[in-house]
Homo-oligomer: A and B are copies of this chain.
Amino acid sequence: MNAPSFRNWKSVQDEVLRRIHAREWKPGELIPNEADLAEEFGCARSTVNRALRSLAESGLLDRRRKAGTRVAAQPVAKATLDIAVIRHEVEGRGSKYGYQLLTRELTVPPARVCGAMQTPASDALLHVRALHLADDAPYAVEDRWINIGVVPQAHDEDFATISANEWLLKYAPYTHGEIAFSAVQVAEDDADILGVAPQSAVFAIDRLTWDKDASVTKVRLLFTPGYQLRTSL
Binding site for B on A (CB under 8 A): 18, 21-23, 26-27, 59, 74-85, 88, 169-185, 199-204, 207, 209, 211, 225-233
How far is the CB of A181 from the nearest CB of chain B, in Å?
5
Known contacts A80-B80, A84-B76, A173-B22; is A183 also within 8 Å of B225 by CB?
yes
Contact A180 B83 (CB under 8 A): no
In the assembly, what is the distance between CA of A207 and CA of B79, in Å? Answer: 11
Known contacts A78-B80, A233-B177, A233-B178; is A23 also within 8 Å of B228 by CB?
no
How far is the CB of A113 from the nearest CB of chain B, in Å?
18
- In the complex, what residue of chain B is closest to A19 when comparing beta carbons? B173
Known contacts A26-B170, A79-B80, A81-B81; is A181 also within 8 Å of B203 by CB?
yes
Number of copies: 2
In the assembly, what is the distance between CA of A209 and CA of B174, in Å? Answer: 36
Which 10 residue pairs of A and B lie closest in terms of their CB atoms, listed nearest first?
A201-B201, A183-B183, A177-B233, A77-B83, A183-B203, A183-B201, A180-B230, A185-B201, A181-B229, A22-B173
**Which residues of B sit under 8 angstroms from A231, Cβ to Cβ?**
178-180
In the assembly, what is the distance between CA of A209 and CA of B21, in Å? Answer: 11
